[in-house]
Amino acid sequence: MLWVKSFHIVFVASWFAGLFYLPRIFVNLAQVPPGSVAERERLLWMAIKLMRFTHLLAVPAVLLGLWLWLGYGIGLGAGSGWMHAKLAVVVLVLGYHHACFLILRRFQNNENRRSHIWYRWFNEIPVLLLVLAVVLVVVKPF
């Protein structure tokens, strides 16, 4: 079980690294002046590559988490309210990941309507989700 838990932590941390940096690229894309085609294309290329990599990291993170939950029974039984809350956080993280994918598509189609300031705020969401997930797993408040 410790091997599964270790790799789960590594993949979750790596997945979040992608979710931390991708919106940062969106901030930069939103600031590209009109006519700066090379800069826009370079940032789009970076975002596309990072999104692909982030997809690849999310899959084992989720699968290993399911293995811990269902295979080893972590978070099952009495006093497992924290696991239900953590699963809700995981759903929110998956939703955020999907939102990043949709935003990237808008940038690719030249349909962005949001400012760099909006993306700066959007960039803070995964930090809050990670803190919440870690507190739920470590503290198990309920």
Q: What is the pLDDT of residues 63-107, one digit of tens each?
A: 999 999 999 888 888 888 999 999 999 999 999 999 999 999 999
Count the alpha carbons within 13 Å of 141 in the hemisphere toward its beta carbon: 7
The string of pLDDT tens digits covering residues 20-72 is 999 999 999 999 999 999 999 999 999 999 999 999 999 999 999 999 999 98
Residue 23 tokens read as 């919106």
Type of residue found at 118? W
Residue 129 to residue 136: CA distance in whole angstroms: 11
